[in-house]
Structure 1
Amino acid sequence: MTLAATSETNAYDLSTCDREPIRTPGSIQPHGFALTLAGDLVVLQASENLEQHVGIAPTGALGQPLARVIGDAAATLLATELGATRIAERPLYLGTVCIHNACYFDVLAHRYDSVLMLEFESVERRASADFRNLYPLVGEFLLKLNDTNTTEAMSALAADEIRAVTGYGRVMVYHFDHDGHGHVIAESLADGYHSYFGQRFPATDIPRQARELYTLNRIRLIHDANYTPARLVPALNPVTGAPNDLSFAALRSVSPVHLQYMRNMNTLASMSVSLVVKGKLWGLISCHNETPCPVAFEQRTACEQLGQILALSIESREDANELEFRLDLRRIMVSMLGGLTQGANFIDNMSSVFPALLKFERAGGVAIIVDEHLLTYGDTPPDAQIRELVGWLSTKAHGDIFHTDQLSKVYAHGAQMTRNASGILALPISRIHKHYLIWFRPEVIHTIDWAGNPHAKEGAGPLGQLTPRTSFSTWRETIHGTSIPWHNGELELALEFRTALLGIALERAEQMAELAEELGRANKELEAFSYSVSHDLRAPLRHIVGFSDLLLESAGNDDVEKRHRFLKNIKESARLAGKLVDDLLSFSQMGRAALRPTNISMNELVRGCIEKLAGDTRGRDVRWEVEDLPEVRADATFIQLALYNLMANAVKFTSQKDSAVIRISAERHEHENVFHVADNGAGFNMEYVHKLFGVFQRLHRMEDFQGTGIGLANVRRIVERHGGRVWANSIPGEGATFSFSIPKELPV
């Protein structure tokens, strides 16, 4: 804070608290003195209380070697330690020195802001700091932590240990909530000290920049709140030309407003140890004493170590609790998603998991809005209010999720829904339509005990200046219109659930598209079937009837040859009609029969088909050229039928060739095998290739090449049921190549 005191009121202006240069106060606490040094240990700056401690005026020390200021023996000791130790930004204990055979000082050193700073803290003892008790203290503390199972219990243990080490009258551990208020979760008290356990200190008690400094420098000590600061001489850092940054200085002077705050709290000595969890200021261990109380460096070190151990333990415990919480939510979500995939109706599926939805987000009610459909479960606002809320939500650019635990603060009509909807979590489940899944949490009326009225933290003086608050008496506030806050895990899992819902919806849309495609194909096949029944099947039946009539008319005729010809035509027409009916039955069964995959030798299948076609090729010059073919995993019966149809087509459409060549080959790919049946026969016009695999589609006249027009449709259906593809290429008069693929992994 920038502090401006007036003679009339002696009040401090707190209007610019967050801009106070607390890192560059230009002074130190007077229970020690400070020197800044160049690399050759020549004094650049000295605190103005130097003469009080060592009898040399600060101006007289400037430009002098360190030995001239503190004596040869002390300087030699420090130079040796400095030469043997890497000095960084955090203060390091160099030793205890005696100056002028009278005064003893603990010496801390750190490099920061382009200078080496030595801090000399006056101590009563004549020996160096003794750190031998640190290890057993820490070891015992760790053992005790193993017997605790809550953050509060661990904090209480730390408070007791630190009070025993320091001798302070009150040690509090408080945790900053999501609004920055400090909640006292543990406390250790000496007799006669006021308790703040369970109370809250408002966030404004610790300005933003102070919190940042607490995160950077983990410990801060105030020896006596009634001290008079000792300024640095000269005021500006000779190297940087700016005020010294004392962020890591143990003797750094603090804000006069904070000192007044302490006195108002009847506290003259304090120490704060930061609890930093995952890089953020989680809370503080705050130590108070009603009288001045020095804390030696080794004691502060012990407290800092205990604070770090506590912070690590809190992090570990919070991580474990968070993991368990998220696992529970994920179990519920997985169970719900299993239920949502059972039926085809989205609304019915969602309503079937309503109880789990409430448990998933610890809600009192839930609503699903899809188009004009609104379903609710549990304790929810009336339908009209929910629809109005959805209208408001749809106007907000809230991304994939909207949540609040104080709806009335952000939504004008939220006050009408306070009882059962003080908090809401809304998931839009469509980018286009007003489709929402909304959870409702009821109002939780609760009280907060503050250490003083947070709304009267600063009181205005007669001229408008602001002063530190003077009251720390318990002030109780009742909170209305809020629900239990939404946990980060709940929000993140809700987003996952939304993604899963969209995935289910997309899968259903794809299934519907596939069904529509299949239906379209089935309709076309049905049209072709109708045409075949009305035309292809009718034709041989007409022939049968016609030749039967002719046979009857010639009953008295002795022309045996003519009657034989009529009977032959009748037989041929009946055979064709039967073949057509058989092929129709085979085609219809092909779509219903279950696949029975086995490992198939394609070489053996081809040899078997060639043997079956021997009768059709007898008396013809047909040369089979068969490559070595890979094995496949498929339904042997179906694949043999498809292969036979393609090879039979090749035999049929080469019937007008003097010398027929039919070549069967394969290509091996990473995910599939491709087979080709090529011939040098009649071929077809590629302009009509899209009709080739349709039911009852012919690209040649019946008089030229007989057939029912179902064989290639069967081939396509067989291959596609195996997850493969079928296609053809041709040059009219030169031949055709029919190809199909069989994947190495069959579809489930």
Structure 2
Amino acid sequence: MPIALSRQAPELTACDREPIHILGSVQPHGFLLALEGDDRRIVHASANVPEMPGQPAGGGLGEAFARLFPDLDAEVGHQAAHPEREGAQYLRTVTLETTDGPRAYDLALHRSGALTILEFEEVSSEAASGRSLDALYPRLNAFVAGLPEARTVGELCGLLAVDIRHITGFDRALVYRFDRDWHGTVLAEDGTGVLPSYLDLRFPVSDIPAQARELYRRNRLRIIPDAGYAPVPIAPGTTPSTGEPLDLSQSILRSVSPVHVEYMRNMGTMASMSVSILVDGALWGLISCHNRTPRRVPLQARNACDFLTRIFALQLAAKERGAEAEQRLALGAIQARLLASMAEEENFLDALLRHPADVLALADAAGAAVVTRDQCRLLGATPSEPEVQALYAWLAAQHPGSDVYVTEALSEEYPPAAAFTDTASGVLAISISQKYASYVLWFRPEVVRTVKWGGDPTKTATVDPGSGQDRLHPRKSFEIWKETVKARALPWTVPVADAAKDLRASVLGIVLRRAEELAALSEELQRSNKELEAFSYSVSHDLRAPFRHIVGYSELLRSREGDRLSNKGRHYVDTIIEAAFSAGTLVDNLLAFSQMGRNALNRISGDMNALVEEVRRKAMRDVAPDRTIRWTIEPLGRAYGDPVMLRLVLENLFSNAIKYTRGRTEASIAVGRAAPRDGQAVFFVRDNGVGFDMAYVGKLFGVFQRLHRVEDFEGTGIGLANVRRIVERHGGEVWAEGALDAGATFYFTLPLREEAH
């Protein structure tokens, strides 16, 4: 657990109260209108609404939006009534005829209570000259393609920092992660060298207080093109119908807290952009970009950054879940060994003491103790027996009824622990009796480490010369400020704490005649299924939407601007649409693959020839009329399995056979039944297609594994992985034989059943 600086608490409270979402002004690179009621009457307007011929001054306050902007009213009304999601949504680029001539604006809309907020962001010269969708696509594609190669979270963050800085052109891009205390650490950085490096530095929770973090969570992308801007007021100060100030939480143009502007100037930056990294709806971290001089980032580039960040967040979540799942599996194996030993022993405590290595490994601890009213048994590196007994008494008195106690800084809660930080700075304890105070305790030693802060993290209130009042000022120096942290152990991870909880449940189950053992296993399975379901929902919800947007906007670009594009430009747009459709197919296949292992099998005895003929007829519907395919289908007998699942096996194998024989004058596909193998029925699908090199046969049935270029043969690399998963769930196996340009044969087995003969 990162350092908690108690000396900051009063200042943090003051900073947390700053009303940064109702500042009543906007940045000057655009203007804002707020509409109310069915007639969409203008009730708020920023002071910089441009003058337009024949329209009243003052932003049209009190006027119906339709009278001043007749070309936009219908679209605004529809979008306000049917928002796609929370937050500002880009509608389109509009051109307004002003008294200074035509001016182009990117129009965005969001809801704020009963109000509809319109923001017109003026299109910069940079937006007009560069970073269009076709120019950004190769970069986006390369980023997505490179994500699976990143082995660690740090490498993922490094890829993101490089691409975000390249797209935006900022002097520096940081990937910043929050810890459990909301301090932030810079995990990755890319820069031009104009600004100093902040890599590996930590920034205190006071830099981004609670209400700012909530705005970052709700409003993913924030830009400040010029920290030296003069705020543009919004009139009137409160909404006439409610008397409340205008809530700008979701605003793109919302003005910035004076404290934050001062913070930027002290940092030596005049422009910034942040993109929120959300994992399962929670704020994981930020991408923070800075420039020494003012800088506008075009809307297309900002949308690309948002897209990259969403893809990154999905990959990050998958990688973190994967690492956590691996740790849970390893701990589960240790726990299973301990439970097996305890089940064989009359006294379960004796079983624990006979396996000290597994007891310590379960919590990745250096020492452990089993303490009851009658005994205190020590394992590994621990405090002395009297010290452990005293800690036991303190736990029983201060935490009665607690199932689990966990800390990585014991001496902060239990001062006598300062005498044995070298063996027990961190403690994880579980209560193993519902009636008496009995504990299993694990100990971790002190790990002395140096934390590098980005400047002295202490914020102090100073007297403001203008008002004579105390005012919170950000620090002026960002030089590295080091702090040595003592009396703290490495933090206990969630899987370790859960493993300890599960052990406690198992122990209580044994003590209570093992009545809860099956319930604990069921709970673990339910938790795993919920994690899979949450991940599937995250992929389907967060990844499909960006692809739909890419296709939608690309088709709009093709239909509305196609006559202005060159042949190469139209080719680029077509390529983007095709790639987005392919990515959507890949997402669907991934979801099907993840759900395949959870669907229950409904096995029946069925005629394999009838099933093969049904699948063959369906597969031939999609074959080009000019192709000749000769099918040879032997008598297959009956099979015992789930017909829905077996149909998917045949569909994938037939689809592959048809695809990879595409270049043959006459394609030949044979389906047959071979001699039984290891007591199982063996079926095969053979073709005379392009075949494959047997040196790479091990890759055939893996996810995303392909032996042919996607330019030659389409596909996602998931079909054969589904075949293997289905067959293995039936208790069978799959394998393949082939040679280059000499065809391939795919075999699968199904267990023999008397009724299947």
Q: Shift of residue 373 of structure 1?
A: 1.9
| AA partner of residue 510 (structure 2) | I
1:78 partnered with 2:42: no
**2-structure distance, mates of 1:301, 1:321:** 30
**1-structure distance, mates of 2:514, 2:350:** 14
Q: What are the within-5 Å matches in structure 2 for residues 156-235 of structure 1? A: 156-235=158-237
Where does residue 121 of structure 1 map in the other structure? 121
1:490 partnered with 2:496: yes
- Residues 247 and 55 of structure 1, relative CA distance in 2, 3 Å threshold: farther
Task: Name the SS for the 1:152 alignment partner.
Answer: helix
Task: Name the SS for the 1:363 alignment partner.
Answer: coil
Q: Shift of residue 196 of structure 1?
A: 0.4
| AA partner of residue 502 (structure 1) | L
Where does residue 669 of structure 2 map in the other structure? none
- Contact 1:27 1:232 survives alignment (8 Å): yes
- Contact 2:66 2:72 survives alignment (8 Å): no
- Residues 433 and 40 of structure 1, relative CA distance in 2, 3 Å threshold: closer
Where does residue 317 of structure 1 map in the other structure? 319
- Contact 1:113 1:244 survives alignment (8 Å): no
- Residues 374 and 230 of structure 1, relative CA distance in 2, 3 Å threshold: same
Identity of aligned residues (%): 40
Where does residue 446 of structure 1 map in the other structure? 449
Q: Shift of residue 434 of structure 1?
A: 3.2
Q: What are the within-5 Å matches in structure 2 for residues 494-643 of structure 1? A: 494-507=500-513
**2-structure distance, mates of 1:300, 1:391:** 58
1:488-545 Cα deviation digits (max 9, x unpaired): 11111111101111222233999xxxxxxxxxxxxxxxxxxxxxxxxxxxxxxxxxxx
1:403 partnered with 2:406: yes
Where does residue 476 of structure 1 map in the other structure? 482
- Residues 55 and 474 of structure 1, relative CA distance in 2, 3 Å threshold: farther
Q: Where do 5+ consecutive residues of structure 1 fail to align?
A: 1-12, 70-74, 511-748
Q: Where do 5+ consecutive residues of structure 2 fail to align?
A: 1-10, 517-757
Where does residue 730 of structure 1 map in the other structure? none
Q: Shift of residue 256 of structure 1?
A: 0.6
Where does residue 96 of structure 1 map in the other structure? 94
Where does residue 43 of structure 1 map in the other structure? 42
Task: Name the SS for the 2:423 alignment partner.
Answer: helix
1:29 partnered with 2:23: no
**1-structure distance, mates of 2:13, 2:386:** 47
Q: Shift of residue 117 of structure 1?
A: 2.0
- Contact 1:460 1:467 survives alignment (8 Å): no
| AA partner of residue 431 (structure 1) | Q
- Contact 1:277 1:315 survives alignment (8 Å): yes
Where does residue 430 of structure 2 map in the other structure? 427
- Residues 411 and 56 of structure 1, relative CA distance in 2, 3 Å threshold: farther
Q: Shift of residue 113 of structure 1?
A: 2.6
Q: Shift of residue 139 of structure 1?
A: 2.5
Mean alpha-carbon deviation: is it higher for 449-458 or for 280-289? 449-458
Q: Which runs of 4+ in 1 moved over 6 A?
A: 52-57, 126-129
Where does residue 112 of structure 1 map in the other structure? 112
Q: What are the within-5 Å matches in structure 2 for residues 262-281 of structure 1? A: 262-281=264-283
Where does residue 416 of structure 1 map in the other structure? 419
| AA partner of residue 24 (structure 1) | I
- Residues 509 and 138 of structure 1, relative CA distance in 2, 3 Å threshold: closer
**2-structure distance, mates of 1:296, 1:360:** 52
Task: Name the SS for the 2:315 alignment partner.
Answer: helix
Between Structure 1 and Structure 2, how many residues are aligned? 493
Where does residue 359 of structure 2 map in the other structure? 357
Q: Shift of residue 368 of structure 1?
A: 1.2
Task: Name the SS for the 1:212 alignment partner.
Answer: helix
**1-structure distance, mates of 2:411, 2:403:** 21
Q: Shift of residue 58 of structure 1?
A: 5.3
**1-structure distance, mates of 2:61, 2:311:** 42
- Residues 24 and 376 of structure 1, relative CA distance in 2, 3 Å threshold: same
**1-structure distance, mates of 2:52, 2:456:** 43
Q: Shift of residue 340 of structure 1?
A: 1.9
Task: Name the SS for the 2:350 alignment partner.
Answer: helix
- Residues 358 and 105 of structure 1, relative CA distance in 2, 3 Å threshold: same
Task: Name the SS for the 2:194 alignment partner.
Answer: coil
| AA partner of residue 384 (structure 1) | P
Q: Shift of residue 460 of structure 1?
A: 6.1
**2-structure distance, mates of 1:60, 1:52:** 8
Of residues 333, 337, 352 in structure 2, which corresponds to 1:331? 333
- Residues 45 and 55 of structure 1, relative CA distance in 2, 3 Å threshold: farther
Mean alpha-carbon deviation: is it higher for 52-61 or for 106-115? 52-61
Task: Name the SS for the 1:318 alignment partner.
Answer: helix
**2-structure distance, mates of 1:20, 1:240:** 22
- Contact 1:91 1:250 survives alignment (8 Å): no
Q: Shift of residue 90 of structure 1?
A: 2.4
| AA partner of residue 60 (structure 2) | A
**2-structure distance, mates of 1:16, 1:292:** 30
- Contact 2:49 2:59 survives alignment (8 Å): no
**2-structure distance, mates of 1:509, 1:53:** 79
Where does residue 293 of structure 2 map in the other structure? 291
1:75-97 Cα deviation digits (max 9, x unpaired): 34423543665446423232231
- Residues 26 and 83 of structure 1, relative CA distance in 2, 3 Å threshold: closer
Task: Name the SS for the 1:105 alignment partner.
Answer: strand
- Residues 385 and 94 of structure 1, relative CA distance in 2, 3 Å threshold: same
Q: Shift of residue 234 of structure 1?
A: 1.2
- Residues 383 and 97 of structure 1, relative CA distance in 2, 3 Å threshold: same
**2-structure distance, mates of 1:117, 1:471:** 38
Task: Name the SS for the 2:109 alignment partner.
Answer: strand
**2-structure distance, mates of 1:361, 1:165:** 44
**1-structure distance, mates of 2:276, 2:491:** 26
**2-structure distance, mates of 1:94, 1:114:** 23
- Residues 458 and 353 of structure 1, relative CA distance in 2, 3 Å threshold: farther
Task: Name the SS for the 1:16 alignment partner.
Answer: helix
Aligned-CA RMSD value: 2.6
**1-structure distance, mates of 2:162, 2:213:** 24
- Contact 2:88 2:110 survives alignment (8 Å): yes
Task: Name the SS for the 2:398 alignment partner.
Answer: coil
| AA partner of residue 396 (structure 2) | S
- Contact 1:426 1:438 survives alignment (8 Å): yes
1:269-327 Cα deviation digits (max 9, x unpaired): 11110001111100000011111111121111111111111111111111111111111
**1-structure distance, mates of 2:165, 2:276:** 16
1:61 partnered with 2:60: yes
> When the two structures are superposed, what TM-score results if normalisation uses the length of structure 1?
0.62
- Residues 495 and 159 of structure 1, relative CA distance in 2, 3 Å threshold: same
- Residues 65 and 405 of structure 1, relative CA distance in 2, 3 Å threshold: same
